[in-house]
Amino acid sequence: MSRGLGDVYKRQVPYSVAFMVVTAVRFLPIIITEVVTVVTVQRLRGFNPKRFGSGIVKTSLNILTPTLSNCVRRTGTLAVSIQSRAFRANPDRTYLKKLKFSELDKAMVTVCIFAAISIVTIKLLYNMYTSGIYYTSGLRPVYAIARGYL
């Protein structure tokens, strides 16, 4: 959630509004799943939803009532969670410490990328060896490493 919140906040939207928007967007899939569950349960109970005319009001009420009650319950839980974390206790946004990308971080990222590329290359060479596409006797130690450890 913090990445989306940061993206909205960078567009100079107030933090509380950005938090509300991101929270609402995050809850959409949950609400959609809940509506599908309610419709499935009602069909299992023998309810036949009408799509047109006066039946659409009854269908909508039968779907929205349990969905909204669950949303209200979830909202209460979310409100307690937000208050327990002292949301908006300070008018200014505070950070524990400013994060910086140090030289050690750059070195570690470089090593990890190199290791990932090496592993993929070794696996490809080994798969080409086992399928009979490519074999070189000079790569026997590489094949042994791939067979034994990868």
Structure tokens at 87: 């949301």
114 or 88: which leads in pLDDT = 114
Instruction: Give pLDDT tens digits for 105-116.
Output: 999 999 999 999
Scan for tokens 């002292």, then name that residue: 86
Instruction: Give pLDDT tens digits for 18-55.
Output: 788 888 888 889 999 998 998 888 888 887 766 666 67
CA distance 49 to 26: 28
pLDDT at 50: 64
Instruction: Report which DSSP code applies to 63.
Output: H
Structure tokens at 79: 């409100």
Where are the domains positioned within the chain? 2-84, 103-149
Q: How many CA atoms lie within 13 A of 58 on its CB side?
A: 10
